[in-house]
Structure 1
Amino acid sequence: MPSVTLPNWTSHLTGSGPEQHGVFNNNWTLATSSYPAVRKDEDGYYPSVFQALKQCQPSCKTAFYYNWKPLAYPFNEKYLDEIKYLKDDAYIPNYNQAFQFIMKHRHIPTVVFLYSVHTDNVGHKYGWMSNEYLQSIEEADQQIGIFFQKLRQEDLFNDTHFLFLTDHGGIGKGHGGTSAAEMIVPWGISGPGIKRNFLITEPNNTTNTAPMILHLFGGKPLPEWTGKVIESVFPS
């Protein structure tokens, strides 16, 4: 909440809601922020999962691939070993770049954030659940399948955790309200030590993403984060 892009991805990657990280809309920048974050690092940013990972696993390599320019604004880039932006909705080269990054660092802890905006833009143009929107999802799904196949060929798939996430839904040709179609989003995780064919029934939130990532790398949520580890996905 709100059901717009920048606040929610910030919540995913900082383990906190807007009332903690201070990002309330898509126009946010560090220079124009009007609401103070409850904590800031030495550069003025709210602590992200990338910063927390570097603290608990100093050897960890982090990458951020995206194609919507404001998306990176809330995160301190000095905690990212690679960051790549593509304009005009391009995204396939980022999948290739992410694969190369994983290959390069295959013997050390590695975290990759891989984002595609074109499905959102198609929803705004043609409507959510339109044929064009569903086709855009199929296109993205195909690229994810190719990405997975490359990892399998390099014997990297079985040792990797995957989180499948989005920031908001839509209704008509827009979003930003509080309808279920706009507010409820998929949240999925798979990989070593994660239950298979399991449905999370406990309350879940975008703020739980960063604590879950950190937990997989042996870290604990930062004190200012409000998200939690979803213990039910792990075998008892």
Structure 2
Amino acid sequence: MKKSKLIALFVLLCVFGTHTHARKAKRVVLIALDGISVEGFQKAQTPCLDALLAQGARSLDTRVVMPSVTLPNWTSHLTGSGPEQHGVFNNDWLLNKSVYPLTEKDAKGYYPSVFKVLKEQLPTIKTAFYYNWINLFYPYNEAYFDEVSYLEKDAYVPNYDKAFQFLSDHRKQPTLVFLYSVHTDHAGHNHTWMSPPYIRSIEEADAEIGKFIEKMKKDDLYKDTHFLFLSDHGGINYGHGGTTVNEMIVPWGIVGPGIKKGLTIEEPNNTVNTASIILHLFGAKQPLSWTGEVIRSIFK
């Protein structure tokens, strides 16, 4: 091969990278269930999630950030950083009461989320945030979302319907959807982790996830969608926040174009990696303030 061709090939590799699939992501759906311990996930009958995750890569050894409570960890999932960077140390965090100096902030004082980064680098992307725990949205600047839907009293099924409609309406545009429910966590707090009501709450969510996936398939949205299954912490007895295995280790999975099928992830994984992987799927550049990493072994 001539020297000029070798130089041209080197330039192409530098510009586009060796993982060309990262430029092809059309949509990413984050299926987020609160408070799912590995033990609970394994005990519950989850045929829909099992079938989905069998088509991709799965970890049963993903670590959460400390403290093992809800808001710090979901913020870490969606900002590619731990509390030391994003400043969310507890469930009561509010922007106007935060005194911790963030490593980076936008014009309104928020730490840069995956939604902000994608909106700035991919202006055509559509973003949505569906949730049923009011505090969950507090760390994010609403300017970077096209749709936000909050449901009271642990309701979550209507948000699955809204998320599907959003994905269908924007099928020709890159799309990122965060689809969350807290009812699984509340079942643990009310009845203890691993209790029959807690296990049943996971199984009920699995059934709704199955219906959502089937609608995606019928509407020809499934094949070119990346799905991530996420949780923020486990639990023990009536709570969480400590450092036991059942609190600090959660399941994590990813499915979609370019992802290896049937892979058990061996590398160390953490909630801070989620946003980094999402950016990689869309071919976006990660902020220097983030600490998350891309798990390269999950890609074909």
TM bin (shorter chain): over 0.9
Q: How far apart are 1:34 and its partner, in Å?
A: 2.6
Coordinate RMSD, CA, aligned: 0.6
Cα shift readout 1:51-89 (whole Å, capped 9, x = no counterpart): 011122110000000000000000111001100000000
Using structure 2 for the length normalisation, give the TM-score. Answer: 0.78
Assess if the C-alpha contact under 8 Å between 1:118 and 1:136 holds in 2: yes
Q: Who is 1:59 aligned against?
A: 124
Question: What is the rounded CA distance, in whole Å, between the counterparts of 2:266 and 2:99 in structure 1?
Answer: 36
1:232 equivalenced with 2:300 (yes/no): no
Residues 193-208 of structure 1 mapped to structure 2, 5 A cutoff: 193-208=258-273
Pairs aligned (count): 235
Q: Which sections of structure 1, spanning at least 5 residues, go unmatched? A: none
Determine whether 1:17 maps to 2:77: no
1:27-61 residue CA offsets vs partner (Å, 9 max, x unmatched): 00001113121111001000000001112211000
Equivalent positions of 1:51-200 (< 5 A) are 51-200=116-265
Kindly provide the CA deviation profile for residues 184-216 of structure 1, in whole angstroms up to 9, marking residues without a partner as x.
011100000000100111111100000100111
Q: In percent, how many aligned pairs have the same letter?
A: 66
Decide which structure has greater strand share.
Answer: 2
Out of 215, 220, 224, the residue aligned to residue 285 of structure 2 is 220
Alpha-carbon distance in structure 2 between the residues aligned to 1:133 and 1:58: 41
What is the TM-score of this pair, normalised by structure 1? 0.99
Q: What is the CA–CA distance in structure 1 between the aligned matches of 2:222 and 2:269, rounded to whole Å?
A: 26
Q: What residue identity is the alignment partner of 1:180?
A: V
The gaps in structure 2 that reach 5 residues or longer are: 1-65
- What is the DSSP-based 3-state SS (H/G/I as helix, E as strand, rest coil) of the residue aligned with 1:115? strand
Q: Secondary structure at the match of 2:197?
A: helix
After the TM superposition, which parts of structure 1 deviate over 2 Å for at least 4 consecutive aligned residues? none
